[in-house]
């Protein structure tokens, strides 16, 4: 890689920063083992019986209702898509303290922590700090920024105890959800207010998660409305820096408050209203910025203030025994005080869905959508947008028909989505799916889909001065990444198949395979140099532009299984193999995007999780996650070594309404690197060994 070319396709500036944190203690592992041995011998207190994963039948787990695939309820065992569900029980016992950590459970989903508040999360390739081919929703509301066509994971948060389930689709979901649901969809569903009545206090503290507390109360308003309100605060210590040293500055904290209400208006109408507000600050070691006044980079320390919130409402109406519809509206506002790229954004989303069972053989879902988003960015010498403020509108419509070719045996699903956006106009995303229920315990399915990744503000309007150097005759040269107003949609044709089988009442597995064919992928191409007299001193500019001059293929398999070893012991396992092959068009001169993008994908990854009920009210959880090496990352172009992450924890319900927990994370080593940011390892941190204790009180 040449020293002055921008790394990969990116979507943001080439500043760099460093992070440090305190090292972990090896004694944590031994303390947890000792605590487990001690707890196993303690007498049990009187307690309320709790729902336990080991007491659920596999048939119950296979028949969980999912709605993300077709915007209607379907049994997981019959869905013609690669879907994985993280259940309430998975969440409660995981020991995870964030949504990204929960997502590590999903085979085929790549999760890497870059620094204290930044994650790379992608599916089936193309992972990165600003992954733009994965769509995320919370209760049907898009958690998405048109800035870079992705997700701010640092502000995608809520009390984990309020999550009912997380449905993860690996593969395209564009026919239902539209643009940017290219390689996957993550849909988070929160519990109804009626399920969280009473008071709840949760507090935890540890060496990395220094403080984490949630206070919540739920109740009734009259006979037809249930509600809950909550407040959550966390304070996270810095990670270690890239060398494993402590003393970094990427610690952060956030305060969040929210509510939800569910009302039964009539026998046929329900109304849900929810919202939250948040305020927080992220620390970062500092950026190294280009300057035309010197050949080097200038270090700038930084703190990012973040605040925002949303309010949304959904009305559901049952029109008849065979039809129902819903109308959802949401307003989101946020501000990110990055001194180089401050952003303020207001977004309005409207979504209408109609479901009709037509005759005995057809089940139709159709809908309309509208999104309006307006932003305003600040500017600096390093980063600017042209125009600085912009309003965008998106219109969409979809229809999908599930046809029972042979009732209770063979189902064919046909559908398409029409999306219209400000940049590239109308996009069409059709799909065809078939599911064959071989018998009551096994399903074979296949699918062909088209999906689009539409341009973002970064693709069309961003200007980044990312480096400088002395030039001929002593004239400085400024290297700049300039967005292209001609940038087009990235395109995917996906071919998928899958097989599910509940082998026995104690053993089941799920297999999915795919071949993805991409076209018009983003590259960074050199432009014609030009002279610029201002700012002083006069200097030459070497521009690079985003263009659509790459194509390629990805393929892989994903396997997951559940084994109920005994009535008190359950095991979940997963494995994924993925391979990506990218090719430049003859006109391309890009030398960095292919190695960076291909190198960000682990060829092999695996999970093994165990839940063991030691005695009533006392459970032991253990999990091992393996991630293969990443072969080419950052400016150094050095592999990130493979790692195995080990997590474990004990939960003890000492009496009704009181639960204690002790958890350890990343116990296999003192620290390890998971992912580098898009512009070099100096901006990344190493995840450290950690432990924390937790108490939950409800009444």
pLDDT digits (tens, 9 = 90+) for 582-628: 999 999 999 989 988 998 999 999 999 999 999 999 999 999 999 99
Band the pLDDT of 175: cuts 50, 70, 90. confident
CA dist., res. 524 & res. 171, Å (int): 26
Count the neighbouring beta carbons within 10 Å of the beta carbon of residue 515: 13
CA dist., res. 298 & res. 588, Å (int): 32
**Is 2.40.170.20 the CATH classification of the domain at 27-698?**
yes
Q: Residues 91, 71: contact at Cβ < 8 Å?
A: no
Kindly report the pTM of this predicted structure. 0.90
Q: Residues 252, 277: contact at Cβ < 8 Å?
A: no
Tell me 553's DSSP state: E
CA-nearest of 94, 86, 171, 160 to 135 is 171
Q: Residues 301, 256: contact at Cβ < 8 Å?
A: no
Q: Residues 503, 475: contact at Cβ < 8 Å?
A: no
Mean pLDDT of 487-515: 96
Instruction: Provide, for the chain, the percentages of residues in helix, strand and coil under a 3-state DSSP scheme, each rounded to the nearest 5.
Output: 10, 60, 30
- Taking phi over 0 as left and psi of -120 to 50 as alpha, with beta for the rest, 97 belongs to alpha
Secondary structure element (H or E) that encloses residue 221, with its range: strand 209-221
Give residue 286's pLDDT. Answer: 57
Give residue 241's pLDDT. Answer: 80
Secondary structure element (H or E) that encloses residue 384, with its range: strand 383-385
DSSP 387-430: SSEEEEEEEEEEEEEEEEEETTTEEEEEEEEEEEETTTEEEEEE
Task: State residue 597 phi and psi, 5-degree precision.
Answer: -70, -45
Give residue 672's pLDDT. Answer: 92
Give residue 46's pLDDT. Answer: 34
CA dist., res. 440 & res. 393, Å (int): 46
* Position 258 pLDDT exceeds 90: yes
CA dist., res. 463 & res. 391, Å (int): 18
* Position 43 pLDDT exceeds 50: no
The two tokens of residue 268 are 């046929």
For residue 222, what are the contacts with CB-CB under 8 A and spacing of at least 6?
none
CA dist., res. 401 & res. 433, Å (int): 10
pLDDT per position as a tens digit, 521-540: 999 999 999 998 888 888 89
- Taking phi over 0 as left and psi of -120 to 50 as alpha, with beta for the rest, 625 belongs to beta
Distance of CA 142 to the CA centre of its chain: 12
Q: Residues 663, 694: contact at Cβ < 8 Å?
A: yes
Mean pLDDT of 303-322: 95
> Tokens 């969409």 map to which residue?
396
């Amino acid at each position: 890689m040449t020293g002055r070319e921008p790394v990969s396709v990116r979507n943001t500036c080439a500043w760099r920063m460093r992070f440090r944190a305190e090292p972990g203690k090896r004694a944590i592992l031994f303390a947890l083992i000792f605590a487990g041995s001690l707890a196993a011998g303690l007498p049990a207190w009187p307690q309320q019986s709790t729902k336990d994963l080991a007491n659920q039948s596999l048939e119950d787990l296979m028949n969980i209702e999912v709605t993300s695939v077709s915007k209607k309820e379907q049994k997981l065992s019959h869905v013609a898509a690669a879907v994985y569900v993280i259940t309430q029980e998975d969440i409660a016992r995981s020991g995870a303290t964030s949504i990204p950590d929960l997502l590590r459970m999903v085979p085929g989903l790549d999760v890497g922590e870059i620094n204290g508040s930044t994650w790379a999360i992608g599916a089936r390739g193309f992972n990165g700090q600003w992954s733009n081919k994965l769509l995320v929703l919370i209760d049907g509301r898009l958690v998405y920024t048109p800035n870079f066509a992705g997700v701010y994971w640092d502000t995608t948060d809520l009390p984990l105890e309020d999550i009912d389930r997380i449905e993860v689709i690996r593969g395209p979901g564009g026919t239902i959800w539209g643009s940017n649901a290219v390689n996957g969809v993550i849909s988070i569903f929160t519990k109804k207010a009626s399920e969280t009545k009473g008071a709840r206090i949760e507090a935890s503290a540890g060496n990395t998660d220094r403080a984490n507390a949630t206070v919540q109360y739920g109740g009734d308003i009259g006979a037809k409305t249930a509600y809950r309100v909550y407040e959550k605060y966390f304070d996270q210590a810095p990670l270690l820096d890239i060398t494993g040293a402590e003393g970094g500055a990427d610690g952060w904290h956030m305060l969040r408050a929210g509510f939800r209400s569910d009302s039964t208006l009539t026998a046929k109408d329900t109304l849900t209203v929810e919202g939250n507000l948040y305020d927080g600050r992220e620390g970062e070691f500092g950026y190294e910025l280009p300057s035309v006044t010197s050949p080097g980079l200038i270090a700038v320390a930084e703190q990012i203030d973040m605040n925002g919130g949303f309010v949304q409402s959904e009305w559901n109406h049952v029109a008849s025994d065979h039809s129902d519809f819903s109308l959802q509206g949401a307003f989101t506002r946020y501000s990110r005080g990055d001194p180089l790229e401050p952003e303020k954004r207001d977004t309005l989303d409207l979504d209408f869905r109609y479901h009709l069972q037509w005759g005995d053989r057809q089940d139709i879902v159709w809908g309309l959508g509208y999104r309006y988003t307006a932003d305003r960015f600040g500017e600096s010498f390093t980063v600017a947008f042209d125009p600085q403020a912009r309003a965008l509108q998106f219109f969409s419509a979809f229809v999908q028909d599930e046809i029972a070719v042979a009732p209770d045996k063979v189902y064919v699903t046909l559908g398409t989505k029409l999306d219209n956006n400000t940049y590239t106009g109308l996009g069409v995303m059709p799909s065809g799916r078939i599911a064959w229920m071989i018998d009551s315990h096994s399903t074979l399915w296949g699918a062909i889909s088209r999906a689009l990744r539409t341009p973002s503000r970064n693709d069309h309007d961003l200007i980044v001065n990312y480096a400088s150097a002395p030039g001929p005759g002593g004239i400085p040269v400024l290297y700049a990444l300039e967005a292209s107003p001609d940038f087009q949609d990235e395109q995917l044709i996906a071919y998928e198949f899958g097989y599910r089988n509940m082998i026995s009442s104690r053993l089941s597995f799920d297999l999915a395979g795919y071949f993805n064919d991409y076209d018009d992928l983003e590259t960074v191409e050199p432009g014609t140099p030009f002279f610029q007299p201002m700012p002083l001193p006069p200097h030459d500019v070497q521009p690079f532009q985003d263009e659509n001059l790459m194509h390629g293929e990805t393929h892989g398999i994903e396997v997951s299984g559940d084994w109920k070893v005994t009535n008190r012991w359950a095991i979940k396992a997963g494995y994924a193999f993925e391979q990506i092959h990218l090719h430049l068009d003859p006109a391309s001169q890009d030398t960095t995007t292919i190695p960076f993008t291909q190198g960000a994908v682990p060829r092999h990854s695996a999970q093994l999780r165990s839940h063991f009920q030691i005695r009533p009210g006392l459970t032991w959880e253990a999990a091992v996650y393996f991630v293969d090496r990443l072969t080419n990352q950052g400016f150094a172009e050095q592999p990130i070594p493979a790692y195995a992450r080990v997590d474990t924890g004990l939960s003890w319900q000492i009496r009704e309404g009181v639960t204690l927990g002790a958890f350890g994370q990343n116990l296999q080593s003192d620290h390890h690197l998971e992912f580098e940011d898009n512009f070099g390892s100096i901006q990344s941190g190493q995840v450290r060994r950690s432990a924390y204790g937790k108490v939950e009180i409800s009444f």
